[in-house]
Amino acid sequence: MMQIKAKFDTDEGLNFIQQYYINQGLKKFGDDGKDAVDKELRQMLLRDCFTPKFVKDMFASERKKAQSAMMLLAEKQFQKTIKGRLVYQGNGTRE
């Protein structure tokens, strides 16, 4: 833990990256935010993480098994680029 602390410790204290939900992030970052969302979703699709489906085309059993996800946007501290992160809501995940 001390090695991690030493890596991120600055004169002002520890710095943490502010993450925004997609709606807030798109307002703040504009087109750069849209590009980050697009890049993250393309990466997930290329890695076959999931297959997108319209909810109206799903059976009730499929809807029950579906996972909720959130898209978060953050500005990387040193590169000043926008990073998109697709994360599953932890309380609903299953093995």
Q: What is the pLDDT of residue 43?
A: 92
The residue range of the domain holding 35 is 17-92
Q: Is the residue at 10 inside a domain?
A: no
Number of domains composing the chain = 1
Q: Is the residue at 33 inside a domain?
A: yes
Q: What is the pLDDT of residue 20?
A: 93
Question: Mind listing the pLDDT tens digit of every residue in the chain (95 residues)?
Answer: 566 656 655 555 556 788 999 999 999 999 999 999 999 999 988 998 888 889 999 999 998 888 888 999 999 877 789 999 998 876 655 55
Q: Is the residue at 7 inside a domain?
A: no
Q: Is the residue at 64 inside a domain?
A: yes
Residues contacting residue 71 through CB under 8 Å, at least 6 positions apart:
21, 22, 25, 37, 40, 84, 85, 86
What is the pTM (predicted TM-score) of this model? 0.70
Q: What is the pLDDT of residue 74?
A: 93
Q: Is the residue at 6 inside a domain?
A: no
Determine contact, residues 73/22, Cβ cutoff 8 Å: yes
DSSP-derived 3-state class of residue 46:
helix
Q: Is the residue at 54 inside a domain?
A: yes
Q: Is the residue at 45 inside a domain?
A: yes
Residues contacting residue 67 through CB under 8 Å, at least 6 positions apart:
88, 89, 92, 93
The answer to whether the Cα torsion of 26, 32, 86, 12 is positive or negative is negative
Q: What is the pLDDT of residue 79?
A: 77
Q: What is the pLDDT of residue 2?
A: 62
Q: What is the pLDDT of residue 61?
A: 93
